A and B are shown apart, each in its own frame.
Chain A
Amino acid sequence: MSVLLDISHIDMEFPTPKGSFTALRDVNLQIKKGEFVSLIGHSGCGKSTVLNVVAGLYGATRGGVILNGKEVTEPGPERAVVFQNHSLLPWLSAYENVELAVKQVFGKIKTRAEMREWIEHNLQLVHMGHAMHRRPAEISGGMKQRVGIARALAMQPKVLLMDEPFGALDALTRAHMQDSLMEIQAELNNTVIMITHDVDEAVLLSDRIVMMTNGPAATIGETLDIYLERPRNRLELADDPHYNQYRARVLKFLHERHGGHKPKTAKVSMEKNIEFDNKSVEHAA
């Protein structure tokens, strides 16, 4: 499969009163169609900045993002974002929140009835069919996040961007949401970039985990391909030696970074993915 999204050597500098602050340096990542990639790293390492650059909400200082052969210059629905704190419009019901997105994206293509069906379909996909006419204030945090995901899915994005989508949820709800997301992913096979700081979540959901070094001037430290059979079951995986090795690998990386140790050029016994470093960047669609 060819590369769908090319995050090509981006640097990100923010102007501050004390001069410019380099948040990202030379972040280079290529993502294939249908791939589920997690970005993991300590808080403040610039994971969200990468996502915002891909979303088009920030413009990279150097380098750029190419989606399907076109450079990303502004935000758009083909790169739908699931925000950490759901970001539903509180004055609209779940249905209306999804409707706003669907009308904007498909208003000229679909008929009224088709749009209605599509909205309901997406809400049912995230198991929100029973509460689609409730407002955000009337539903739980997990339900809000489900609606947020439904809204993003309803845009039929080329890449789905998720910014710590389950970070604000309690452990039980988070587990439920992860299972739901895996189900949806099995059905739709979306290309996803998810930011997380939860190691289990990353290993469970991803095809590839991208580990970021600490900022300032954060960059990709290691990438790790996850070769676990799908569908994945969290209970079975708990005793799976591969799963635990992957988990340990990520934990080790995070632990090494945390103390401010210089990253050793880790010789990883696992399937560490280095092919990307060698891969050339010229691959338009």
Chain B
Amino acid sequence: MTSTTLTGSKPAAWKLSQFDGKLFGSAIKTVVVPFAGILVFLMLWSVAAQNIDTSLGKFPGPAAVWEQFDALYQEHSRSREKEAAFYERQRERNAKRVVDDPSYQPKIRDYTGKETFIDQVFTSLVTVMSGFLLAATIAIPLGIATGLSRTLNSAINPVVQVFKPVSPLAWLPLVTMVVSAVYTSTDPLVAKSFLNSMFTVTLCCLWPMVINTAVGVAGIDDDLVNVSKVLRLPPLKHVQKIVLPASVPMIFTGMRLSLGVAWMVLIAAEMLAQNPGLGKFVWDEFQNGSSDSLARIMAAVLVIGFIGFLLDRAMLQLQKLVSWDRDSVTH
């Protein structure tokens, strides 16, 4: 396309404008259309909300929820200020006492204010990640073993199939009782409620990872297995050099599914286990029953959804990063 003659440049110019058109079209698709979708949703929500009367007043519309977002943030900053002031007062008092009595050992007492919404978001994230990572450390080796051995697969498959559809709410009472019975430290490192929610998350998000890992491992190309045989790779090296890399795409697909399940399960578990997280926030607001409660719950719903979305994107990015098979990574 180096022709500079008039006739030669014409198609080029035409192509350029077509290219511009395509670019414009893709901008519409990626920005304008989703934006319009959100706008329409907000309008429908707003209209519907006005027509729903509950015992706690009208169902919150977008504006009421937005207000609560702001209120929740204000509460958080106020609480942080209080906390800082609390520690500051303590420090001053201790300093004074040390001056009066040099043998005095200053003690720092923890701030015991109520957890704010933002604190609760972080608690939830820590809980879900703990439960998920625990599940992954069990599920991936188990899945690899299951995928490698047909006998083990036949043995484990029925158990997995039965436990996979069990709701977290069914597990929770059992987990609670077991944790109470087994975890009886006088100076507990973490709260029982945290363990209850964490183990419930683990029990529910174990299965997709086991299944996907096993399917990935069992589905390794026979030729690659033959390469390993010809090279006489010892079993551990076979897993490390062939099995693990070959099934990474499937393992990550399982992890993504599991993380989604984990986040869903967590909210339910926290509600019942009274673990200070988003689930408890929703439950407390529901019990509280003030005129703002519904709007605050709706704010929590949006945050839960958004975090779930971010977790999924994060897993997707991680999957893209470690996967040799870019084509297998889908949205």
Contact = CB atoms under 8 A, between A and B. Distances in A.
Given A77-B230, A87-B224, A155-B231, 18 more contacts: A55-B230, A57-B230, A75-B226, A75-B229, A75-B230, A76-B230, A79-B230, A80-B230, A81-B230, A83-B223, A87-B223, A87-B226, A89-B245, A90-B325, A91-B324, A101-B231, A104-B231, A135-B324
Nearest to A84: B223
Interface size for chain A: under 10, 10 to 19, 20 to 34, or 35 or more residues?
20 to 34
A91 B221 CA distance: 13
A188 interface: no
Interface of B: 221, 223-224, 226-227, 229-233, 241-242, 245-246, 248, 324-325
Contacts of B230: 55, 57, 75-77, 79-81
A52 to B, nearest CB: 9
Nearest to B248: A91
A85 interface: yes
A77 B241 CA distance: 17
A85 B232 contact: no
Contact of A81 (B226, B246, B248, B325): B226
5 contacts: A75-B230, A77-B230, A81-B230, A91-B324, A104-B233
A91 B226 contact: no
Interface string A95-126: 00000110011000000000000000000000
B226 A104 contact: no
Chain A binding surface SS class = loop
A100 B231 contact: yes
Interface in A50-97: 55-57, 74-77, 79-81, 83, 85, 87, 89-91
Interface in A165-216: none
Contacts, number: 51
A81 B229 CA distance: 11
**Counting chain B CB atoms within 10 Å of each CB, which of A56, A80, A87, A135 scores highest?**
A87
B229 A57 contact: yes
A11 to B, nearest CB: 22
Q: 3 tightest A-B contacts by CB?
A: A91-B324, A87-B223, A75-B229
A155 B224 CA distance: 17
A77 B223 CA distance: 15
B309 to A, nearest CB: 29
A83 B231 contact: no
A137 B231 CA distance: 22
Contacts of A79: 230
Contacts of B232: 74-77, 104
Contacts of B324: 90-91, 135
Contacts of B224: 87, 89
Contacts of A100: 231, 241
A77 B233 CA distance: 10
B227 A87 contact: yes
Nearest to B227: A87
Contacts of B226: 55, 57, 75, 81, 83, 87
